[in-house]
Amino acid sequence: MKTWIYGASVGALVAAGAAYADGHQIEYGLLPDKPFEGTTLNVLSVVTPQFDGLMLRDDEFTDLTGIDVEWTFIPFGGLQEKLNAEGVAANGTFDVVNYLDTWGPPNRYWLRPIDDLLERDGISMDRYPSAFAASASFNGETMGFPLRAHPQLMFYRSDLIDEAPQTWDDVIRIGKELKESNPDIAPLAMYYVNDGNRQNLFVWLNFVWAAGGDILNDDCTPAWTSEEALSATEDYIALHTVHGITNPDSVGFNEADARISFQQGNSAMMPVWWWAYSPMTNPEQSTLTAEQVAFTGMPSYQGRTETYAISMPFSISTYSENQDAAWEFMKWLSNPEMDKANAIEREVEGQAIVNNVVTHISSLQDPEVNAANNDIQQAAWASLENSDIMPQIEEWPEVGDLLSAAIAEAAAGGDTRQLMTDAAEQATRVLTRSGCIAR
């Protein structure tokens, strides 16, 4: 059944593409004459103001195409389980799905590659920063559009800290000074807990990559036991265990916990995704004002800055019986004009929307977008100049869980080197069993 649906959809898309090729197209490259009028698409998405803004605008898509859209929003903490369940069920409940990039390879068996459609409709993935584009691909195939994507920035209290920390040594120095001058505020909010989403690896990667280490070698064997990587990991853990500049609750914090600590004024610095700027300065979510919240690029380590970038692509399900209509929706959803408007307009259909996330290079460099968001896109663009992504392998969730558990135990006082070595041994067995490491 899966193969038949996929084949039928490709045929419909190619036939529909003939009209497009003849030059009969409407706004956003959508097909004319509403060929899929009356179709209802079901979309699975993470909860975020960014996508609320898109959902509130989808009447435009319906007016242009006659296609209705029903959105199902899932909090990030439950999205992975929901995505996996949809893949197993194979019933096509959702036509379009949203997921974290590292979940893509394990689910690639039911996500439709779109390279033929991109070529047909003249859409280039070069419109996205290279890290974002790579995060939406697997084995050389483009699986979707990275419509929610993030570089990392360092946020800090400008009313407590005079100069932006440029290095991790600066962070440590400033942190120790703050412990003396403002003992009621933790200098740094970190998130070391093993939360099932591997969030405690996000900042760790900055240390490892800057030190010249890596996660996997070219032969798929674990690379995090090199001396460079182990030393960098020890320094990452030492922010909490040795220097004592982190919030005392950091061993139990996930990313949201750390962010809330910052928003409540309980921590003075936090390295996190750029999207956090909106809730940090939103009076309904934060005790801080915009004047108190500053940001800079991620601090350098050993003289180098290499950051981790992440995305949450949208893809078409191969189980869907509406793949042709779903592609029309994807074109509308991903258009650059929408990207820009969604970061500038603060009210949509009478609902307040505060969002600074854009993913197109044109939006990142757009003066209007930057002016509306205190130039955070300019800082993000600089951060993305030297960014990379997690390994795009099917085994990553299992391997990443082993790493995340080791990091959490190390932050709780365990032997960092031994824990990372043990994780490498376990990961080697996983990667050998799967065939990633050649037998």
**Distance (Å, rounded) from C-alpha 373 to C-alpha 144?**
27
Crossing angle (nearest 10°) for helices 2-21 and 323-333: 60
Question: What pLDDT, in 10s, does the model give residues 112-121?
Answer: 999 999 999 9
Q: How far is CA 21 from the centre of its chain?
A: 34
Segment 337-356, tens digit of pLDDT: 999 999 999 999 999 998 99
Q: Enter the pTM of the model.
A: 0.87
Q: Give the confidence band of 197 by pLDDT, cuts at 50, 70, 90.
A: confident
What is the structure's pLDDT at 11? 42
Cα–Cα distance between 331 and 288 in angstroms, integer?
A: 38
Distance from C-alpha of 194 to C-alpha of 435, rounded to nearest angstrom = 27
Q: Say yes or no to pLDDT of 19 above 90.
A: no
Overall average pLDDT of the 297-317 stretch = 96
The Cβ-side half-sphere exposure at 8, using a 13 Å CA radius, reads 12
Q: What would the pLDDT profile of 169-187 be if each residue is shown by its tens digit? A: 999 999 999 999 999 999 9
pLDDT band at 13 (very low <50, low <70, confident <90, very high): very low
CA torsion angle 215 313 361 60 (round to 10):
-170
Nearest-angstrom CA–CA distance, 62 and 111: 24
**Is 25's pLDDT higher than 70?**
no
**Percent of the residues in the chain that have a pLDDT greater than 90, as a whole number:** 91
Provide the pLDDT for residue 26: 67
What share of the chain in percent tops pLDDT 70? 94
Taking CA atoms, 84 is separated from 105, 107, 364, in Å, by: 12, 7, 32
How far is Cα 191 from Cα 177, in angstroms, rounded to an integer?
A: 22
Give the mean model confidence (pLDDT) for residues 209-230.
97
Enter the tokens of residue 54.
């898109």
Question: DSSP assignment of 243-307, as one string?
Answer: S--B-GGGGG--HHHHHHHHHTTSEEEEEEEGGGHHHHH-TTT-SS-GGGEEEEEPPBBTTB--E
Quickly count: other Cβ atoms within 10 Å of residue 238's Cβ: 18
What local confidence, expressed as pLDDT, does residue 127 receive? 97
Residue type, 344: I
Q: How confident is the model over 53-77, as pLDDT tens digits?
A: 999 999 999 999 999 999 999 999 8
Residue 272, pLDDT above cutoff 80: yes
Least Cα distance to 434 among 106, 161, 207, 210 occurs for: 106
Q: Name beta bridge partners: 145.
A: 314
pLDDT band (50, 70, 90) for residue 27: confident
Mean pLDDT across the chain, nearest whole number? 92
pLDDT of residue 321 exceeding 70: yes
Interatomic CA distance for residues 433 and 114, integer angstroms: 30
Are 392 and 138 in contact, with CB atoms under 8 Å apart?
yes
Q: Is 383 helix (H, G, I), strand (E, B) or coil?
A: helix
CA neighbor of 36 nearest in space, from 2, 5, 13: 13
Q: What is the mean pLDDT of residues 89-117?
A: 96
